[in-house]
Structure 1
């Protein structure tokens, strides 16, 4: 029971370190209870305790999904009773936590020496954190690196390693601190933490001063609650669009995802509005979740969402998960085929991703490799009642900006609508849940970072480090951590 409590405590502390919760600084210590919990345990007990840790973390970190599943979706679509949303929420936690059976299982084979053990466990955790984001059910939300979104100096490493480098760093320090405590050298933790924050502060002071960009766009935050959005007619949304843009002339106006819920390419009123401004508008059409440019009365589709969200926009592995088709949103969409980059008038090459695509680094990488000089995401986060949900989504742009060295603009229905610069600094943001049109000045950038060129190479390095750590340990004749425990 003690080990189970410690695993739950680790999950709880990790959740409290996430954006919108208590403090990101907790992440440096949040895995220590788990390391105590698995110590001296057999391989299967370790696997179970590791699963419990991540399951707890996911359920707490994503608590804001529960009211969406039990209240909003049943209210809007009426496809299932509220209690079934609880079942779906728990299953979501299980799916996300399953890969961490692997971390617990392999932790049994950790070397005993402090250096090799640190390298091994940090590598193994990084491996399974990467694998959790792979496949049709893959998702990167809740990655422990998110705790460091405000540590601007430290996160500069992701332009080289991606967020997996931060995961490795976090786990390394947790393992190191655990070993210090075991050896009754806990005071050594303080100089290490001091050095980490000194490094963070030093890098921040070396970064260039933020500059006002030359490319201006108008981002609309219409603040239409989900309870109303799916019952509002296109005519009413047209009136809203007109009222929000009446003070702008000759601007590029960007709306959130699915501003209209039906194909409006034949709207004469919209064409008239485009005589004053150019619009980048999201609405579903041709069985795709798409973004269009409306310029001088002409529509052109510029992007259709490639990374569709499981169960809501597509049904993954239909033979296995067909029973969950009731979670479908408006409809199941066909994925887009290309990460397209386009120009609006004389704008620099830009790209627009849709909703939770900002959680996936490979999407922003693909856009930049195709020539995008700035990144935009349009989303409807009106489904979520809590600020933690909105912040969790917004900070994905912090990491995508640093990974690619591109400024990142999020345009959201209820917020957060804001701009992040290429160093992960939040330059400007509109107030939450207020109907506003905000002007943002963006600085386009060219070039490719190491991460853009080589992607998640750090995953393969982690595999190598894990194997080499065990090999060196065996060459030295050391016993692995779990050798004395019966399977």
Structure 2
């Protein structure tokens, strides 16, 4: 049963079969694991089931990490080990708490797993992929509540529903599974509560979708998708020439307000002695000559160096080709872009000699807000880089600075899979709802497009094609009515974490005050499982 969930969960998320996930599977994905956990005969068995689920579901969901250059074994192996451990610990806790609060356990399952999703999505090891809410990203009435609760409000109701369905199945087939303490009367109470929550979600969602937000400005934007892997060092001149050609072909008739290239489009810094590099490269039509010719502001990804440190950055050039400002990525990929204790020689030697990692990025230390002229005046925008558009805390901080627009620059071509790029794209849709801010995504292979403040995809380019997309991006007036989420962040998720800790403490405390603490927990666990 744990293996069944480990297969169904990846199929419910964006994958190579169902590109945007399968919401029907999302409603039952955790049902087998839930039944297996409460049917387990010991805490050790609960831990093993969770570890098995974590290992298999991670490999099936994120197999594309094996394409992460020379670090593939480290990335796919490291993520698998982490999630095997995470889910083993989580299932151990669930195995205890669900058998302490028998009648409330569907609700408690939703609380604990949602709290886990929040905790795993923050900090140095943060990886906000594979959340229970993601298969429902296109069910817009349901997900609008994210502007209050964040994405975790949707995950909670989905997980609660999974547990409820599991309880219905166990009650219907109780002689084939095991006797359940949840009666029809208790199930009806859970159904009433779930129905009430869903009704609130849907009514609120339709209300937000019907809200006639004022379009205060428009930005004519050209996004260029070059379809090349920035990790291939010997194709940089060819790639830069392609970017320049696609840009000029789509600005020949009239100039847009902004041209946007992807992350790492420039492989070398545009500063100090490197500026002269662009006087002669690419051969035939140097980048500096191109800048002076197009007469359009250009936003692109490029390295930035300062005080012997290198940063993964975005740079805005003005119409005259002069660099205006830069933003450096703050949430770096753990153990790939950022390594703890890198200053220690033994750590550097291990990464250089064993893994082949010769340099790392440093995290940025400021939230840069750029500005360009739109149809009706200046447009303020922030540029979360790569998977930063999946971290709700980053976009929340930017939204507090009254930005009108998010522009995400991404390089996912290395994954060589549609599912990797779509998983990234879907997670970014929730950032637009949480902050009610339009997002442009300009990538080197996909998904390049525009998402409106309700999470609706306005336009996209086909993945893994070299094309340019020119479109008018609507700018909505939300400054005078910031979302509740913008002001309180993930308070809903942290509330669930707090409740989960109280429930766990309540489950542990009586035994902790008695002799034979661990034996008594196990005995009570076994007694609850006929």
User: Shorter-chain TM-score category?
Assistant: 0.7 to 0.9
> How far does the alpha carbon of each residue in 1:155-202 deviate from its partner, in whole angstroms, 9 at most, with x for none?
11211111221221122111111111111189999x999999998877
Q: Which position in structure 2 is the counterpart of 1:422?
A: 453
Q: Classify 1:210/1:430 alpha carbon distance in 2 versus 1 (closer, same or farther; 3 Å).
A: farther
Q: Which position in structure 1 is the counterpart of 2:316?
A: 293
User: For 1:153, what is the secondary structure of its paired residue?
Assistant: helix
Separation of aligned partners in 1, 2:304 and 2:240: 17
**Structure 1 residue 314: Cα displacement:** 1.3
- Greater shift in the superposed pair: 94-103 or 110-119: 110-119
Contact 2:452/2:458 (8 A) holds in 1: yes
Give the TM-score taking structure 1 as reference length.
Answer: 0.85
**Aligned mate of 2:403, from 368, 372, 391:** 372
Q: Which position in structure 1 is the counterpart of 2:123?
A: 135
> How far does the alpha carbon of each residue in 1:216-275 deviate from its partner, in whole angstroms, 9 at most, with x for none?
211111112457x42124476146414432441432100000101002342354444344
Separation of aligned partners in 2, 1:233 and 1:484: 60
Q: Classify 1:173/1:351 alpha carbon distance in 2 versus 1 (closer, same or farther; 3 Å).
A: same
Q: Which position in structure 1 is the counterpart of 2:77?
A: 90
Structure 2 unmatched ranges of 5 or more: 175-183, 280-285, 509-519
- Aligned: 1:232 with 2:235: yes
- Aligned: 1:220 with 2:207: no
After the TM superposition, which residues 267-416 of structure 1 pair with which residues of structure 2 at under 5 Å, given as runs? 267-268=278-279, 269-275=286-292, 276-286=295-305, 287-295=310-318, 296-316=320-340, 318=342, 323-324=350-351, 331-345=359-373, 346-416=377-447
**Structure 1 residue 134: Cα displacement:** 3.0
Q: Classify 1:321/1:400 alpha carbon distance in 2 versus 1 (closer, same or farther; 3 Å).
A: farther
Separation of aligned partners in 2, 1:119 and 1:238: 56
Contact 2:224/2:243 (8 A) holds in 1: no
Contact 1:116/1:469 (8 A) holds in 2: no
Q: Which position in structure 2 is the counterpart of 1:8?
A: 3
Q: Which position in structure 2 is the counterpart of 1:101?
A: 88
Structure 1 unmatched ranges of 5 or more: 1-5, 75-79
Separation of aligned partners in 1, 2:315 and 2:102: 55
Q: Classify 1:330/1:384 alpha carbon distance in 2 versus 1 (closer, same or farther; 3 Å).
A: farther
Q: Classify 1:413/1:53 alpha carbon distance in 2 versus 1 (closer, same or farther; 3 Å).
A: same
User: For 2:450, what is the secondary structure of its paired residue?
Assistant: strand
User: For 1:92, what is the secondary structure of its paired residue?
Assistant: helix
**Structure 1 residue 461: Cα displacement:** 1.6
After the TM superposition, which residues 154-193 of structure 1 pair with which residues of structure 2 at under 5 Å, given as runs? 154-184=142-172
Separation of aligned partners in 2, 1:121 and 1:292: 45
Contact 2:226/2:242 (8 A) holds in 1: no
Q: Which position in structure 2 is the counterpart of 1:263?
A: 269
Q: Classify 1:172/1:302 alpha carbon distance in 2 versus 1 (closer, same or farther; 3 Å).
A: same
RMSD between superposed Cα atoms in Å: 3.4
- Greater shift in the superposed pair: 455-464 or 30-39: 455-464
User: For 2:299, what is the secondary structure of its paired residue?
Assistant: strand
- Aligned: 1:483 with 2:529: no
Contact 2:327/2:383 (8 A) holds in 1: yes
Give the TM-score taking structure 2 as reference length.
Answer: 0.78
Separation of aligned partners in 1, 2:103 and 2:461: 46
Separation of aligned partners in 2, 1:216 and 1:481: 64
Separation of aligned partners in 2, 1:457 and 1:396: 19
Q: Which position in structure 1 is the counterpart of 2:500?
A: 466
